Amino acid sequence: MNNHNSFRIVIAAASMSLMGAASASAGAQNPVVVELFTSQGCSSCPPANANLVKLSNDPNILALSFAVTYWDYLGWKDIFGREEFTQRQVTYEPALGQSSPFTPQMVINGRTSTVGQNFGELRGLIAAEKPLAGPAVNLKGNTATIDDGGRPASGADIWLVRYDAGLVQVPVARGENAGETLPHAHVVRELTHLGLWNGKAQSLPIASGKSGQKRAVIVQERNGGQILAAATD
């Protein structure tokens, strides 16, 4: 719908954002995974986007922003939106007790859902999360390793996520957020299913990331179940 060349995306190189990204790379094993499902065409999303920006500076949290596509018809097509991101959210909803997807929505460790607009409430939900109980995951160079551990009943999915390391500012020209410049942190660019983990140790080849991007590996119960383990480089 829109021509991506008709506007400019500004990558913010603020020192605070870079420090946050650097800290996250040295974060704890199995961080809390917070996934924001958002859209630039949704007027309710900017507060949740801003909260994810704050979370992205916490080395104990893997904050990821997934742009969905179902609001594109409102006059602005989200420039980061991909159908596979929408499908990831749709897959979550039955297990989370939701009848349909909505924005904004934050999913914490695949177990808890919240709108994500209230930062205090969000912090409380994160603090209440139990540590991930899955295998140790390490991502180094071009290899991801997953240790052995208790096998999930139906196996677990292994996901590779590629996302922007810092902050991206997007001017929105049309739709519900027309005239606004929206900040996005840790924008997901690719989501790839690498296979299944069956409880045995695995080593997987992972291609190097692009400049300005980071990689994460997530081990997750199938069909949008809880996240068992995660690591980022």
Question: What was the pLDDT predicted at 13?
Answer: 33
Model pTM? 0.88
Question: What was the pLDDT predicted at 153?
Answer: 78
Question: What was the pLDDT predicted at 152?
Answer: 80
pLDDT in tens, 159-181: 999 999 999 999 999 999 999 99
Question: What was the pLDDT predicted at 21?
Answer: 37
Question: What was the pLDDT predicted at 209?
Answer: 79
Q: Which DSSP state fits 6?
A: G
The C-alpha atoms of residue 160 and residue 230 are separated, in whole angstroms, by 10
DSSP letter for each residue of 98-139: -SS--SSEEEETTTEEE----HHHHHHHHHHPPPP-S--EEE
- Spans of the chain below 50 pLDDT: 1-27
The C-alpha atoms of residue 99 and residue 67 are separated, in whole angstroms, by 20
Relative to beta strand 32-38, strand 61-67 is parallel
Domains of the chain: 4-232 (3.40.30.10)
